[in-house]
Amino acid sequence: MKTILTGLRPTGNLHLGHYFGACQNYLKMQDDYEFYLEIADVQALTDHFNDPMKVRQNVYEITMDLLSIGLDPKKVNFFIQSKIPEIAELTVFYSNLVTVARLERNPTVKSEIAQKKELFGHHGESITYGFLGYPVSQAADITAFSGELVPVGDDQLPLLEQCREIVRKFNSIYGNTLKEPQQVLSNITRVKGLDGNEKMGKSLGNAIFLVDSEEEIQKKIMNAKTDPQKIKKEDPANPDICMVYYYHQLVNKENVSTVCSECKKGHRGCVACKRELIQAMNDFLHPIKEKRKYYEQHPEIVKEILETGTNTAKKKAEETIKKVKSAMKIDY
């Protein structure tokens, strides 16, 4: 049985971008693989080291989100990164195998640094050693569990490439020890934001969260970007530049061809179209929220799921660190 490893930073709740971009694949894959799902609190701290309570709270929030979409804790090992010190050890060992220049060239890191500069001005330029090095720590996350398949969104591809480079370098110096992971992309690799941005993101303020209330959903969809050329109900419009149509494609699949043709012909007003989407979105989110309520009422069950998963994960990481230390001649 192949091993799956993936991770999420606990910095906020899951939104549709996570769901369609990556989590749908977790759901498909949970039956057939040995599955480790890391709540990457240490990685979240590289960015949020000055807000530890936020990271701590979100460990439980994101675990509840993941359970509520239907991941089965009997099939998936949910674990907390900071509870596996072997990952931190591997990070130190791998840090010798990566140059600073290579990290600075990593496209994901580069765009995150650019975003920080935009948000924080000159403060954004003080990048920490920990932040620059998080791809190394992510390579440790994956290899600690001999992760072979890594379901992710396409923004993570440069991190996987960097992981493979570290694995090859390690194996070439210390002998064949680690496995090269492969990404698993979903057919929707990136979900657009309410404002029409190519990417939905919490920090971009354009996301629909799985936990959003019906009032929030209504407000967000009513304000979503539509074809600016369409003013009156009878104006024909271009659905391809309309976010309302875009989300119909995700959560209202049965009716999407009607939505499209009526919109193009000017037989459908934007307000009615938005109302229909609000209904479809709420129908889609309803069972997820119902499931979530159960875990909200039973926090002890969430804690137990994390504890059990972390124990299993720890055993696996201990096996890896033994092999790694022996290969590196530090198995005293």
Binding site for ligand TRP (CB under 6 A): 5-9, 38, 40, 43, 138, 141-142, 150, 152, 156
- Shortest spacing between CB 292 and ligand TRP, in angstroms: 21
- Shortest spacing between CB 268 and ligand TRP, in angstroms: 37
> Which C-beta is closer to ligand TRP: that of 112 or that of 214?
112
> Which C-beta is closer to ligand TRP: that of 55 or that of 281?
55
- Shortest spacing between CB 47 and ligand TRP, in angstroms: 9
- Shortest spacing between CB 313 and ligand TRP, in angstroms: 12
> Which C-beta is closer to ligand TRP: that of 108 or that of 252?
108
> Which C-beta is closer to ligand TRP: that of 176 or that of 203?
203
> Which C-beta is closer to ligand TRP: that of 5 or that of 270?
5
- Shortest spacing between CB 107 and ligand TRP, in angstroms: 13
- Shortest spacing between CB 42 and ligand TRP, in angstroms: 9
> Which C-beta is closer to ligand TRP: that of 6 or that of 82?
6
- Shortest spacing between CB 170 and ligand TRP, in angstroms: 17
* Contact between residue 4 and residue 25 where contact means Cβ atoms under 8 Å apart: no
- Burial (CB < 10 A; 0-12, 13-18, 19+), residue 297, is exposed
> Which C-beta is closer to ligand TRP: that of 193 or that of 239?
193
- Burial (CB < 10 A; 0-12, 13-18, 19+), residue 281, is buried
Give me the residue whose beta carbon is nearest to ligand TRP.
7
What CA–CA distances, in Å, run from 329 to 17, 95, 97, 228, 332?
44, 17, 16, 65, 8
